[in-house]
Amino acid sequence: GESVGLHLPTLSVQEGDNSIINCAYSNSASDYFIWYKQESGKGPQFIIDIRSNMDKRQGQRVTVLLNKTVKHLSLQIAATQPGDSAVYFCAENTGGFKTIFGAGTRLFVKA
């Protein structure tokens, strides 16, 4: 498959290190946030979500942190693996069906 974005911010990490991907969201009324992973040639895939009444949520090897004061969201990936190489999007929702997606960050994992 082809790249979905050639001019995205890029994060390069060594295999086994932790990765932190950051996102600034736009709407202070947003109350639900999602991180998606998009591999080359595929559609985005849900990773983890968090509601605005929380500031941290953990999944398997992933943690999402939410700072509503500065409208900042981060995704932490522990012990990054080559299979984690992808474009990562944050998304926000104010309720209802419409989800607003960020531009994405490309993660490269060096073996």
Binding string to another protein for residues 51 to 80, with x set by CB under 8 A, is what? ------------------------------
Closer CB to another protein, 97 or 111, in the complex:
97
Reduce the secondary structure of the chain to three states and give it as a string: CCCCCCCCCEEEEECCCCEEEEEECCCCCCCEEEEEEECCCCCCEEEEEEECCCCEEECCCEEEEEECCCCEEEEEECCCCHHHCEEEEEEEECCCCCEEECCCEEEEEEC
Among 64, 73, 89, 109, binds another protein (CB under 8 A): 89
Q: Given the rule CB under 8 A, which residues bind another protein? A: 1-2, 4-8, 32, 41-46, 89, 91, 93, 95-104
